[in-house]
Amino acid sequence: MSNPLLTAFHTDFESAPFSKIKIEQFTPAIKEAIKVGLSEIDTIINEKETPSFKNTIEAMDNCGSLLGRNTSLLFNLNSAETNDELQQVVQEVAPLLTKFQNDIRLNEDLFKRIRFVYENEDHKKLSVEQVTLLEKEYKGFVRNGALLDEASKNELRNIDAKLAQLSLRFGENILADTQNYQLHIKDEKKLKGLPVSVIEMAKFNAKNKNKKGWVFTLDYPSYVPLITYAEDRNLRKKICLAFSKRGFQKNENNNSKIILEIITQRQKRSILLGYDSHADFVLEERMAKSVKNVNAFLDDLTEKAKPFAKQEWKAMELFAKKKLNLKDLEKWDSAFVSEKLKEAELQLNEQELKPYFELDQVLNGLFEIVKKLYGIEFKENTELDVYHSEVKVFEVYKNDNFYALLYTDFFPRSGKRSGAWMTSYRSQKKDQRPHISIVCNFSRPTVTQPSLLTFQEVTTLFHEFGHALHGILANTNYNGLSGTNVYWDFVELPSQIMENWCYEPEALKLFAKHYQTEELLPQNLVEKIKKAAHFQQGLQTLRQLSFSYLDMSYHNSSASNIKDVKLHEKKQVESLQFTKDIPDSCMSASFSHVFQGGYAAGYYSYKWAEVLDADAFELFIEKGVFDSKTATSFFDNILSKGGTEHPMVLYKKFRGKEPDTSALLRRAGLIKSNE
């Protein structure tokens, strides 16, 4: 049987022929693609002409396209539609890919050419984009060991191979613990307080598992409603403890040792490359620039948010005692009490909103919003191949020109990791348009209702769609600078700014319609949503800051002193939390952003980017949320530019000034609008 992964895809838009790809074809295809990639590098090295931008840097940007395509397919499927066989393939090829990267980054002959171009090419004759790519390649090699001696290079190879395997095991362990748990309820009385749609979903889960009654899982659409609405405190406690113990149980999925090994290897790697810590290594290529700046940023927000958080927690305790007969609030009470207090203060029941946010309607409204802003249109294509029957594909056009494919995958299932993310199957570069995907875990349709989103799920969809726009609207010459290939603390700007339209009446009227009556979301509910955006912002901010501090603590110069993950976590976050510690739970053990994803020494970037997006959106508010001139400027200077220039340069081109950190505090209601 011929292997489709070894050739170009002869399909419409060169889209992936998922149904023709077999799992067993990945390993041989990736091995062959590695050979092709190394051969392309050899061609560059053996070039007789004097090294130049064109025959070295540009040629490198075009290398490895076959490998990039195949690995994107593999790792995307491993996140969205995995099984034991696919996970085994990933474990097999991960060290091969790490070796391939090191074979390139540590190739002395290749680096000599890059260094020659970096030191001798007339930068004035290059475009801004070309200068950025040249500097990125040179720094990339140096930061990955090109200047090390041979023994140190070999040590670096071993470290990178270990880290690749460790991060994979970390993620697999969380997925296993998530999928191994189910809360089976037989007594209907225990379901008191839960929305009808959640109960129906639990009944559907039970039926699928050949059980009577109701089954709740640790997938977000199941876990979050139970912890938020169940009046049975014992049920909340059970599922909260199960969720908190993922990766931290006395079983083969325990991540404690893996975390210690990851931070040890990251620290070794950084010292080998001449840095005091992994955080110093990472932040050299971030807008924040240094550990000192990040800590100052976090400390400043903490100082401003903590007084509000204390007041909000006292209000929660008083309300719980008076209205809910709850005295000592535990971790499993927080979401429940918070929701009840919000209902009381704002007369807003989140479930009251759900009928106005039917998934397809929200998605179509989102399409309409970005059409108004950026002139792009979406056309569903039911003929293209997909990896699961629930996945949909849309062709994206701008000014009648094909711009991208967008894949959407919205519901939880076995083999799909939790959370929400944007990714790509094919990146953008000159003469190549991208294939982008957004993957979420939203509430499924039930027997009686379509998929009705919570407002938080609506903002999640807008957030991931913002990331998708960064990929879809990319318009650069080079793959290495396209779309989301930007500084990590800049990458969240396009996603987080999109969330703002969820609160604007002009935007809401395009998608917030009752799924049965088509009645627009009433104005009083619009006002309540806007007020809810300020609800408990002190506590919400403190929660995000605790994650950021924890992340930095695992990657600063003292990280090597950590011996006990649980004890370390407790010390780091206890001053920012109001509930008692749960001894057999450990958030770090499922902190995928940091130990599996790319957020190591970078979790602060969520808050950093919130400053950017709050400041940027103030311009939209000033000019109009659908102002074409402002939207065109955001497209021209941010969305289409990727990483072609330093992010602060791009931001200032859009905004006309550096971001004002007070914008975030103003939006959160933590300072007055004129401060």
Contacts of 382 (CB under 8 A, 6+ apart): 393
Residue whose tokens read 């640790």 = 218
Question: Which residue type does 190 have?
Answer: K
pLDDT given at position 177: 96
**Left, alpha or beta for 601 (phi > 0: left; psi -120 to 50: alpha)?**
left
pLDDT given at position 361: 97
Of the pLDDT bands very low, low, confident and very high (cuts 50, 70, 90), residue 325 is very high
Q: Which of 200, 464, 492, 610 is catalytic?
A: 464
State how beta strands 401-409 and 435-439 pair: parallel
pLDDT given at position 350: 83
The pLDDT tens digits of the residues spanning 481-537 come to 999 999 988 999 999 999 999 999 999 999 999 999 999 999 999 999 988 888 999
C-alpha to C-alpha distance for 262 and 482, rounded to whole angstroms: 29
Answer for the pair 218, 182: CB distance below 8 angstroms, yes or no: no
pLDDT given at position 673: 63
Backbone torsions φ then ψ of 438, nearest 5 degrees: -120, 135
Taking residues 97-125, what's their average pLDDT? 94
The pLDDT tens digits of the residues spanning 153-162 come to 999 999 999 9
With residue 307 as reference, give the H or E element that holds it: helix 291-323
Q: Is the dihedral of CA 423, 427, 428, 433 positive or negative?
A: negative
Residue whose tokens read 């993957």 = 439
**C-alpha 122, offset from chain centre:** 38
Answer for the pair 518, 365: CB distance below 8 angstroms, yes or no: no
The answer to whether residue 464 is catalytic is yes
Answer for the pair 256, 565: CB distance below 8 angstroms, yes or no: yes
Question: Which residue type does 444 have?
Answer: R
C-alpha to C-alpha distance for 268 and 157, rounded to whole angstroms: 12
Of the pLDDT bands very low, low, confident and very high (cuts 50, 70, 90), residue 446 is confident
Of the pLDDT bands very low, low, confident and very high (cuts 50, 70, 90), residue 231 is very high
C-alpha to C-alpha distance for 11 and 17, rounded to whole angstroms: 7
pLDDT given at position 1: 60
Neighbours of 130 (CB within 10 A): 20
Domains of the chain, with CATH numbers?
4-147 (1.20.1050.40), 181-244 (no CATH), 355-535 (1.10.1370.40)
Q: Tell me the three-class secondary structure of 428-454, residue by residue.
A: CECCECCEEEEECCCCCCCCCCCCECC
In the chain, what's the furthest Cα-to-Cα distance?
Answer: 82
SS3 label, residue 489: coil
Answer for the pair 613, 496: CB distance below 8 angstroms, yes or no: yes
Answer for the pair 157, 106: CB distance below 8 angstroms, yes or no: yes
C-alpha to C-alpha distance for 288 and 611, rounded to whole angstroms: 12
pLDDT given at position 357: 97
Model confidence at 271: pLDDT above 80: yes
pLDDT given at position 305: 93
264-294 burial code (b ≥16 CB/10 A, e <16): bbbbbbbbebebebbbbbbbeebbbeebeeb
H-type helices in 24-107, by residue range? Answer: 26-45, 59-61, 65-80, 84-105
Taking residues 266-283, what's their average pLDDT? 97
pLDDT given at position 130: 97
Q: Is the dihedral of CA 240, 244, 248, 251 positive or negative?
A: positive
Answer for the pair 654, 638: CB distance below 8 angstroms, yes or no: yes
The pLDDT tens digits of the residues spanning 374-424 come to 999 999 999 999 999 999 999 999 999 999 999 999 999 989 988 899 999
State how beta strands 183-185 and 421-426 pair: unpaired
Of the pLDDT bands very low, low, confident and very high (cuts 50, 70, 90), residue 334 is very high
Alpha carbon separation from 387 to 88, 379, 391 (Å, rounded): 19, 19, 7
| DSSP assignment string, 327-339 | -S--GGGHHHHHH
pLDDT given at position 675: 57
Beta bridge partners of residue 215, listed in sequence order: 184
pLDDT given at position 221: 87
Residue among 570, 578, 569, 499 at smallest CA distance from 538: 578
C-alpha to C-alpha distance for 607 and 613, rounded to whole angstroms: 10
Residue whose tokens read 């704002």 = 346
Contacts of 521 (CB under 8 A, 6+ apart): 353, 356, 508, 509, 512, 513, 514
C-alpha to C-alpha distance for 375 and 398, rounded to whole angstroms: 6
SS3 label, residue 485: coil
Residue whose tokens read 């599922």 = 239
C-alpha to C-alpha distance for 621 and 639, rounded to whole angstroms: 19
**C-alpha 382, offset from chain centre:** 27
**Is 0.85 surpassed by the pTM of this model?**
yes
| Structure tokens belonging to residue 377 | 């249109």
* Length in residues, the chain: 675
Share of the chain above pLDDT 70, in %: 99
pLDDT given at position 443: 86
Beta bridge partners of residue 379, listed in sequence order: 395
Contacts of 401 (CB under 8 A, 6+ apart): none
